[in-house]
Structure 1
Amino acid sequence: MNVFWFIPSHGDGRYLGSAEGARTVDHDYIRQIAQAADRLGYHGVLVPTGKACEDAWIAAASLIPVTRRLKFLVAVRPGLMSPSAAARMAATFDRFSDGRLLVNVVTGGDPHELAGDGIFLSHEERYEQTDEFMTVWRRLMQGEQVTYNGKHVRTEDSQLLFPPLQKPYPPVYFGGSSPAAQSIAAEHVDFYLTWGEPIEDVANKIAEVRAQAEKKGRQVRFGIRLHVIVRETEQEAWAAANRLISRLDDDTIAEAQSILARYDSVGQRRMSELHKGDRSALVIAPNLWAGIGLARGGAGTALVGSAEAVAARMREYFELGIETFVLSGYPHLEEAYRAAELLFPLLPVKSHEPLAPHGSLEAVGELIAYNKPPRKVTGPQAGTGGTLHERAK
C-alpha cells in the first residue's frame, strides 16, 4: 500500500459546520502537516484544488524545500490552462522537487464554480476537453513537438524544452464515476481514484475501468480517497465520529445538500445518495460512515473504528486492487500522527522509515520518573499502544 495524507488548504478544525475549534490554515500550519507526513513515512500528500482552496501549485511548491521525501499530488485543471502551460509547470515542479511530483487531473463537477472560472461546457463536453488536453499534454511531456486541432484544444508546433525528471512523465491520477470519466481513465491515466464507497461498488468500478483499459492495451492501477477516524477502541472511534458532527444542525445540513445538488458530478451524486442528508442513516457498510458528506463536498465517507477494524477494511479494498489510500482526518495535524501510529504497523505499507531527528537517540517515549525507559510493546497489544517505532519492530 501507498498511504497519502491530505493538506487542508480550504480549512481545518475539530467540528464540521462550525467555527468552534477552527484553525487558521496558513503556510505555517500546512508546513507542519507536510513535515509530519514526511517524518511519519506517508508516501505523499494530496493538495486540493478549487475556489475554496489556496492555489494548489503555489502551496505545493512552497513545501518542496521544507520536506525531504514527500511526494505531492497536485491538480491540473483542463480548461483553466493550456496543455503546454500545464506541461511546463509540471516539468519544472518535477525537476525542482527531485522527482516528487504526482499529477491529479481534475475535470470539475460544480457548474457554478466552473462558470466563475470562465468554463461553460456541459458535463460531456468537459470530458471531451479533458481527453484532448491529456492527449496533447502526454505527448509534450514525452518530448514531442505537437500540432493538434481538436474541438476544444488547438496547438501549433508546441514543444516542452525542459523535460520532467520522471519518465515518461510524473504519474497521472484521475477520478470520476461517469462512463465518460472511466473512458478517460482507461485511455490516459496511471491511477484511477474512487471516493470511499461500499466494497461491492468499488469492485464494480475497478472491474469496469480495468476492462476498458485492457481493450486499449493498457494497465491502470487504483486508489481510494477516504477520511479516517481511528482510535484504540471501537467505542472511542465512534464517539469521535459523533463528536465531529455534533455542531451540525439540520439547517446547515440542508444548506450544504442544496449546494451539492447543483453539481453535475456523478461521483458527488453517489456520495450524497449514501446518506440522503439523513444523520440517522450514516453507517453504510462495516466501519464505513457517511457523516462527513453531510456538510462536505467531494470525499464524504470515513473509515471509523479501532486500528484493527480500520486496517481490516483497508485490506479488503487492497485485495480488490486498491494500492493507494489517500487519507485525511480532523484536525489534520494530530490525525496524521494518530493514523500512522495506529495503522502503519498493521498494514503492508510501502513507506519510508520514519525520519529521525538529526543527531537524536532512538525514540523511546518519556522516561519513567526521569530515569527508566518505558517498556517495549510486544504481542497482541503492539498495534494499539506504544510509539510507531516500537510497534514497527
Structure 2
Amino acid sequence: MSQAQNAIKFAYWVPNVSGGLVVSKIEQRTSWDIDYNRKLAQIAEKAGFEYALSQIRFTAGYGAEYQHESVSFSHALLAATEKLRVIAAILPGPWTPAVLAKQIATIDHLTGGRVAVNIVSGWFQGEFTAIGEPWLEHDERYRRSEEFIRVLKGIWTQDNFSFKGDFYRFSDYTLKPKPLQQPHPEIFQGGSSRAARDMASRVSDWYFTNGNTVEGIKAQVDDIRAKAAVNGHQVKIGVNAFIIARDTEEEARAVLAEIIDKADPEAVNAFGDAVKQAGQASPEGEGNWAKSTFEDLVQYNDGFKTNLIGTPQQIAERIVALKAVGVDLVLGGFLHFQEEVAYFGEKVLPLVRELEARAKAHEAVAA
C-alpha cells in the first residue's frame, strides 16, 4: 500500500449553519454564508484536506439560527474547488432515496465524481415534529437508515432495481445516468449506539464516531471491524475532533478555558437534554452523548474529548496515535475556520506526514 493510500485523511465541518461549532459566546471568526465557505473550501483544499462535511438542520436551536440546505450548498463548494470531496448530510424521512439517488448522481457528473453522502438517522425530535415528519423509535430510525443505504446502493449500481422493505418499495427502477464513481459515491454514517455500529458493520463505507479518548475509540473500532469481518464487509473510521492548534500549549489551553467559561448554559443544557433523551431511547439506554459532561457538550460532537489541543507537535503525535488504533480520518472543527485550517495545513499536517513516514520506515526495518 502506498504512503498516500495509507495516510490518515482529514475533513472539516462545513459551517453552513450559523453559530459556529461551539455553544459559546466566545468570538468565532466563522461565517455561514457562501462567500466565506467558498474561500474556506479553497483554503482547505490547498492545506491538504481531502473532505468537507456539510451539516443538515431544518430548524433553529442551540445557537444555530440560520441553516443552509446541505446538498445544494455542497454542490456550490464542489464547484469552487478542484480536488476536495464534499459529503452532504442527509436525513431519511425528509429525503426519499429515489430523489437523493438522482440528486447525487447528477452532482457527481457535474463535479467529476467528488460528492459523498452522510446518512444521519436523526436525534432532534423537535425538528421532525416541526416539519411534520414522523418521529420513529431509536432502533427503527436505524432500520430505516439501513434500508435507505441498501436502496441507494441498489439504485446506483443496478438496472431494473426492485426492493420490498418496511420503509421503501421499488419496482423495476433504472436510474440513468448512474454516478461516475464506482461502485458508487461513498456513504458515511454516524452514531455510537449498538444499532448505529451494527448498521455500519453491514452497509456503510465510513463510520463517524463522536470525539473520545484513544482507548475509547480503539474499543469502538475493534468492535465495528470484528462485526464487519463476520459480515464480509469493510468499513473505515472517522473521528470527530475540535482542533485548537497554537504555538504553545498554554495558548491552546487558554482558548479551551475561554470557550467553556463563555458557554451558553441554557443552550448547552437544552442540547444535552435533547441528545440524551434520544440516546436513552436506545435498547441499551446509551447513545452518542451518554457520558458527556457539560464541558463536553459545549462542542456538539464531544470534540474536546479527542484532545487535539496543544502545539502542532503534540497534535500531530496524537493524530498518529489515533491512526495506530485504526482511525482512517479526522473530522476537524475549528474556532476561526479560515485562519485555523490554513495554520493546520502549514504547521500540523506536515508533522503528521513526517511521523507517518518515520513509522513506516520503522516497520520496514522491523520486518
Q: With structure 1 as the length reference, what TM-score do the two structures score?
A: 0.79
- In structure 2, what residue type is equivalent to 1:177? S
SS across alignment from 2:32: coil
With over 3 angstroms needed to count, the CA separation of the structure-2 counterparts of 1:50 and 1:152, relative to structure 1, is same
1:316 to 1:185, Cα distance in 2 relative to 1, 3 A: same
Does residue 163 of structure 2 align to residue 160 of structure 1? no
Alpha-carbon offset, residue 94 of structure 1: 1.1
Corresponding residue of 2:292: 274
**Distance change (3 Å), C-alpha of 1:154 and 1:204:** same
**Which runs of 5 or more residues in structure 1 are unaligned?**
280-289, 350-393
Contact 2:25 2:259 in 1 (8 A): no
Retained in 2: the 8 A contact 1:12–1:22? no
1:348 matched to which residue of 2?
353
Contact 1:83 1:136 in 2 (8 A): yes
The equivalent position to 2:85 in structure 1, one of 61, 68, 71, is: 71
1:137-158: CA deviations, max 9, x gaps?
Answer: 1111103322222111112222
Stretches of structure 2 that go unaligned for 5 or more consecutive residues are 1-7, 61-66, 355-367
Q: Which residue of 2 aligns with 1:247?
A: 262
Matched, 1:334 2:339: yes
Q: 1:88 to 1:180 in 2, by over 3 A?
A: same
Q: Name the structure 1 match of 2:300.
A: 297
One-letter code of the match for 2:100? A
**Cα pair 2:193 2:287 within 8 Å, conserved:** no
- Using structure 2 for the length normalisation, give the TM-score: 0.84
Give yes or no for the alignment of 1:108 onto 2:126: no
CA contact (8 A) 2:23 2:264 kept: no
CA distance in 1, matches of 2:69, 2:319: 31
Is 1:4 the equivalent of 2:19? no
TM-superposition CA deviations, 1:86-112 (whole Å, max 9, x none): 111111111111011122111111222
In 1, distance between residues paired with 2:140 and 2:189?
A: 17
Q: What secondary structure sits across from 1:264 in the alignment? A: helix
Query: What's the counterpart of residue 99 of structure 1?
Result: 113
Kept after mapping to 2: 8 A contact 1:7/1:48: yes
* Pair 1:25–1:112, CA change in 2 (3 A): same
- Cα displacement (A) at 1:245: 2.9
CA contact (8 A) 2:24 2:262 kept: yes
SS of 1:207's partner is: helix
What's the counterpart of residue 40 of structure 1? Answer: 47
| Counterpart code for 2:49 | Y
Determine whether 1:308 maps to 2:322. no
Q: Deviations over 1:215-253 (max 9, x none)?
A: 111121211121100112111111121222332254554
How many residues end up aligned between the 2 structures?
335
Structure 2: distance between partners of 1:313 and 1:166:
33
**In the alignment, which residue of structure 2 is the partner of 1:87?**
101
User: In structure 2, which of residues 28, 35, 40 is the aligned counterpart of residue 28 of structure 1?
Assistant: 35
Amino acid at match of 1:166: Q
How far 1:22 sits from its partner (Å)? 6.2
* Structure with the bigger percentage of helix: 2
Task: Tell me if structure 1 keeps the 8 A contact 2:16–2:32.
Answer: yes
Counterpart of 2:205 (choices 178, 183, 190) is 190
Q: State the SS of the aligned residue for 2:127.
A: helix
Computing the radius of gyration from Cα coordinates, the structure with the larger value is 1
Residues in 1 aligned to 2:148 and 2:28: alpha-carbon distance in whole angstroms: 41
In structure 2, the CA distance between the partners of 1:6 and 1:120, relative to structure 1 (3 Å rule), is closer
Task: Tell me the distance in 2 between the aligned counterparts of 1:25 and 1:151.
Answer: 37
Q: Could you tell me which of 156, 176, 179 is aligned with 1:141?
A: 156
Between the aligned partners of 1:119 and 1:342, the Cα distance in structure 2 is 47
The one-letter code of the counterpart of 2:337 is: H
CA distance, structure 2, for counterparts of residue 317 and residue 183 of structure 1: 22
